[in-house]
Every structure is written in structure tokens, then in C-alpha cells.
Chain A
Amino acid sequence: MITLRNIKKIYEIGDEFVHALDGVSLDIHDHEFIAVVGTSGSGKSTLMNIIGCLDTPDEGAYEIDGQDVTDMTDFQLGVIRNKKIGFIFQQFNLLQKLDAYENVELPLIYQGVQGGQRKERVAKALERVGLEHRIHHRPNQLSGGQQQRVAVARALVTQPTLILADEPTGNLDSKSSKDIMRLLHELYEQGNTIVLITHDNDIANEAERIVRISDGKIISDTGGVVE
């Protein structure tokens, strides 16, 4: 359960102040599949960074599972990112020196999960995305679609509150895109909460709920209540 209230983020570019987010309020409930749609510069990336605890808002309140995130220390934010959020990036962002298994294992290592349990969970996550036969391949030995599936496995291995996917199909061909979207659907149907950030309306239409954002404001929301 995520609650955003009147979130503002202001960047200073030269003498001008740019309101990247200008009073955004949003509730994300457990087991939702939301697409946040907007053009480049609409503020959707800033929103994603704030939801993902990579960045902090200048104003407003943000609660995740009842915890107020806005006053957290770097350490606490690290714990939130590690345990409550699973990231899927446009550029996959896998570590090139590690193989698929080690990439998926990394968040569990940082969490301090012990060896045997870790092995089990990594294997399960890779099986979930259908890569159990590629566990010792490095990213450069995998296709784009496979790399993104490793990234999905890495996002879901910690059993996060929220899977945050930023243009997950932006670097993929149409077939791999379909595979990834099908995977996200399956994950949603199995009870995960997914927030998909995209500029692509076709992709967005696959979500259960669509939030449109423009100039730092939510302009429409098919599911929630806009204040």
C-alpha cells in the first residue's frame, strides 16, 4: 500500500525553477497493475524515482506500508529499496561481470539472506521467468529479452511490495516486448503489485489502471480518486 500526497519536486535550471512534479497525489493498493503514462518531460520519471526511493520529494508526504519515507536516512531508504521495491529498467542494468544467477542473487546478499535459502530463492526466481537453463550465462551472452527477464527475476526475488518497471520494453523488439508484458501480467495475476512507467499508449492499455501525467500533474486516472 503506497500513499503519495501533494508531492512536489522542483529543479533549478539556470535561473529558472522547473516544477517536475507539481502536487501529485496517488494511492497504489496491493495487487494493482498501474501504468503511469506521459510524454518525455511530463514528470513521470521523477515520479518513478520518488516512488522507488531513489530520490526524495521537496514537499509532500509519501508513505509505503504505513512508513513515512520523506524523513528517512540514506540507510533506511536503502533498506526500503532492497526489501519493498523491485526495479526493472529500460537498459536492464545488469552487472556485466556477473552471470544471471549472481545478478539475481545480489539483492539477497545485500539483505543478508543465508546461503542455502538464497540459492533456493534465486533458482525459483529464474525458473519463474523461464531462464533456469541459462543461469550461468553472462548478460553479454544473453539476448535483450533474456536480459530483461533476468532483471525481472532480480526484481521479484526479494518478494517486494512493488515492482517498478521503467519503460521495460523500450529497448526490446516486438516479440520480446510481448514476452515481457505477458510475464508482468502473470506476475500481477499471481498477486504482485506492478507500476509500469511508459510513454507508449499500447503498452499502457495492457494495465488494469492508467494514470496519465503531464507537466508534473496527474490529468486522468482510470481507477483512483483524483483530489
Chain B
Amino acid sequence: MKIGQAVKMAISSIRSNKMRSFLTMLGIIIGVMSVVLLVSLVQGATGSITSELDSLGGNQLTVSIVNPDTTLTLKEVNSLEDKEEIIRVAAYNSGSGTAKAEGNSSDVSITGITENYTDFTELNLLSGRSILEIDNEYRLNVCVIGNSVAMDLFGNTNVVGSKIRLSGKDYLIVGVLEEQGASMLNSTDTTIYIPFTNAQRLLYSTGVSSFYVASDAETLDAAEEVLDTYLLEKTGDSDYFSIINMASIQDTINTVLNTMQMLLAGIAGISLVVGGIGIMNIMLVSVTERTKEIGVRKAIGAQKRDIVVQFMIESVTLSLMGGIIGMVLSIGILSLVTALLEGYTFSVSFSVAAIALGFSIAVGLIFGIYPANKAAKLKPIDALRHE
């Protein structure tokens, strides 16, 4: 018998029992939805976290010196660039203060930076320019301000050339940043960037207590060791400083997220198996109900194989339809969540869709085999006598 004929028969049989077919499919619909939704949600969250981490830079180290008595000088920090494993360094310091302009005031984070800083943390300029080497050299009172700072103080972002007052000194605004939006990490929206040297005075800090170090993916670990040796010599105690390796943090987070994804998919997969048992149950009932039909089919020449194919196609059609319905519902729910939740994008990746549909076909096959064989093994004489 041709597969096309068998599919036609299977669909007409499913349609003749709509309520029962729907309830049977419901198990698969829920199973597929839970797999697709959970995996897609974790993938979406992973995407957000990974891009957040990527924005901090991949092959870089963050050094903090926690003992205020043993800070390095800017010159010492800059000389680290001479080391073979280190490509670039950028010192920065940060604190907080109050900015005033046009009679308004706003509490802001103040970050003192050098020109290299933008190599480590991207500052997306809406207008103007960033802090340059020359600003540091001449200790110019210039600043780049976050989007919210501009809105709070001026009511608009078209403020390059205006001045704001920080701790009694006027600063010329040379750049305004784009709106960054919600972030798990420090937002640039409420930050004012000024030259590092100015910030040292403004924040009453001498020396350098934080800096970024850039290296290559291959030499990152070596650079970490070099820094460790250097800082241990300078400070005398490994408790006085810390080196954060972004790459290794990223690795750890990715491992945790992947484990979480597998775990959730596994749990959701159980509901798919339960759905499969529902299909097997209904197929067994169907075989009993249709014993006479099987007898007639065998009397007019259906072979075992024809009966097996017929029932297998019915169970696979049931589970595949359930899978497709579950998939469509999942896509709908995910686009709704994406529309409602700002800053996150959830979508069903091709691999998740393929795996979920593949699994629903597999469930139909696996749980259809037993009932189909049971039907095929019926003796025509016994099946015909069945009422």
C-alpha cells in the first residue's frame, strides 16, 4: 500500500474522532511547548547575558588594588604595556558626585578615564567626541555625559558645548552618549566621564587603584601570571589586589547556563514521554474498537505490514500534529513575551524546532509500534468474528 493512501486513511480516522484525537494530542502539545519554551527562554537569557559580558570585552583582565596605601602610579601602570604579554592598559577610577546645570542637579557616577578606556568598554556616542589623551595631558575640564544625565539636567540631549558644574568646577560637555537602557551592570546612562587626571583630584584619590589590561586569547593566562607576580612584588600581599579574568568568568557562566538548559530540556522531555504514553493508550483502545475493521481488511488481502503501516502512520500523524500545534503556540507565546519584556529577545531557533519536531515523530513511532503490532498480529478469522 502506498504511504499517501495510508496518510489519507489516518487523517480520516483522526478526524472521525475529533475530541479524542485532540485530547491525545494535548499531551504532545504540552510536551513540545514545555521543551521549546524552556529551552528558548534559557537561550534568550543566555544571549542577553553573553552579549552583556561581551560588551565588557573578552580577552581582558580587570585589576583592582584594594589596599589604598599601595597604589601604583599612572606611569607605572602605563609602563606595563612594555611587557610582551600585554597589549594595552587603561587606568580608570570611579566615584560619585552631584552634577549641576541650569538650576537642576543630579546624582551621578563619575568615572575618570584615559583615551584607552574605550578599547575596553564601548562608549556609544550620540554626539560629540570621547575623552582624548590631550585632555588628560592638560587636565582639561571636559566631560562626556550619559543620556539620562543630559535629560535630567537639560531636558534634551543636544547639549555638546554646554557646561555643567562638578564639585565647584565647570566642565565643558564634549560628548553625549546614546541611551543604553536597562542593564544588569552599571549603566552608562547616569555616568559622567572625565579625564583620569581630573578625577584623581575630584575624587581625592592618588595613584591608580583600578585598570584594565588587554591581551590576546592565547596570552591572556600568561598576562595574568605576569601581573600577579608584578603586583605581589609591589604590594607585598596577594590579599591586597585582585585580578578578574573575564574569559574565565564567561566560560563558567556559559557552562552553568548550558547545564541549566540541558536540565530544563530533560525535565520538559519527560512530559513529552507522558504524551507518548497517552498516544499508546489511545492507539490500544483504537485497535480493540477496530478489531472487526482489521479482520475485514485482512480478509480482502491486507498484509501484516499494511496494518502496521496504517496504525503507525496514525500515531505519528497524531504526535506530529501535536508537535506542530505546540510549536506554533510556543512561537506565539515567545513573540508575546519578547514584545512585553524590554531588552530580551526570545525566538525559537531552527535547531530547537527541528529537535522538538523530531522528538514528536520519534514519540509517535516508539509508542505506536506496540499497538500497531498488536493489530497486525490479529488472526483474520478471530478479528472478523469480533463484534
Binds B, one of A104-112, A128-136, A175-183: A104-112
- A97-B12, A110-B306 given as contacts; is B300 within 8 A of A82 (CB)? yes
B297 touches A106 (CB 8 A): yes
User: Which residues of chain A come closer than 8 Å to B16, judged between CB atoms?
Assistant: 97
Docked complex Cα distance between A97 and B304 (Å): 21
B384 touches A83 (CB 8 A): no
B299 touches A54 (CB 8 A): yes
- A95-B296, A97-B12, A97-B16 given as contacts; is B381 within 8 A of A110 (CB)? no
A110 touches B299 (CB 8 A): no
B300 touches A81 (CB 8 A): yes
- A93-B296, A97-B12, A97-B16 given as contacts; is B301 within 8 A of A111 (CB)? yes
User: Which residues of chain B come closer than 8 Å to A95, judged between CB atoms?
Assistant: 293, 296-297
A74 at the interface (CB under 8 A from B): yes
Docked complex Cα distance between A82 and B296 (Å): 11
A110 touches B302 (CB 8 A): yes
Docked complex Cα distance between A39 and B135 (Å): 117
Docked complex Cα distance between A49 and B299 (Å): 10
B5 at the interface (CB under 8 A from A): yes
Q: Which of B3-53 contact A (CB under 8 A)?
A: 5, 12-13, 16
- A97-B12, A97-B13, A110-B1 given as contacts; is B300 within 8 A of A154 (CB)? yes
B296 touches A74 (CB 8 A): no
Docked complex Cα distance between A23 and B299 (Å): 25
Docked complex Cα distance between A79 and B2 (Å): 17
Interface size of A in residues (CB-CB distance below 8 Å): 26
B88 at the interface (CB under 8 A from A): no
B1 touches A109 (CB 8 A): yes
Neighbour of B303 across the interface among A54, A78, A98, CB < 8 A: A78
Q: Which of B268-295 contact A (CB under 8 A)?
A: 292-293, 295
Neighbour of B301 across the interface among A74, A79, A94, A98, CB < 8 A: A79
User: Which residues of chain A come closer than 8 Å to B299, judged between CB atoms?
Assistant: 52, 54, 81, 87, 93
B384 touches A109 (CB 8 A): no
Interface size of B in residues (CB-CB distance below 8 Å): 22
User: Which residues of chain A come closer than 8 Å to B302, judged between CB atoms?
Assistant: 78, 110
Task: Give, as a whole number of angstroms, the nearest-CB distance from B379 to chain A.
Answer: 8
B100 at the interface (CB under 8 A from A): no
Q: Which of A51-105 contact B (CB under 8 A)?
A: 52, 54-55, 74-75, 78-79, 81-83, 87, 89, 93-95, 97-98
B296 touches A110 (CB 8 A): no
A55 touches B300 (CB 8 A): no
B13 touches A110 (CB 8 A): no
User: Which residues of chain A come closer than 8 Å to B1, judged between CB atoms?
Assistant: 109-110, 112
Neighbour of A82 across the interface among B293, B295, B301, CB < 8 A: B301
B303 touches A109 (CB 8 A): no
Chain A residue with Cβ nearest B383:
A54
Docked complex Cα distance between A107 and B12 (Å): 19
B2 touches A78 (CB 8 A): no
Chain B residue with Cβ nearest A53:
B380
Task: Give, as a whole number of angstroms, the nearest-CB distance from A193 to chain B.
Answer: 18
A107 touches B301 (CB 8 A): yes
B300 touches A110 (CB 8 A): yes
Docked complex Cα distance between A100 and B298 (Å): 18
Docked complex Cα distance between A94 and B16 (Å): 16
B301 touches A81 (CB 8 A): yes
Docked complex Cα distance between A208 and B144 (Å): 112
User: Which residues of chain A come closer than 8 Å to B380, judged between CB atoms?
Assistant: 54, 81
The 10 closest A-B pairs by CB, nearest first: A82-B301, A110-B301, A107-B300, A54-B381, A93-B296, A78-B303, A55-B381, A54-B380, A81-B301, A110-B302
19 additional A-B pairs beyond A89-B384, A107-B301, A110-B306, beta carbons within 8 Å, are A54-B384, A55-B381, A74-B303, A74-B304, A78-B298, A78-B302, A82-B301, A87-B299, A93-B384, A95-B293, A95-B296, A97-B13, A109-B1, A109-B2, A110-B1, A110-B297, A110-B302, A111-B301, A158-B301
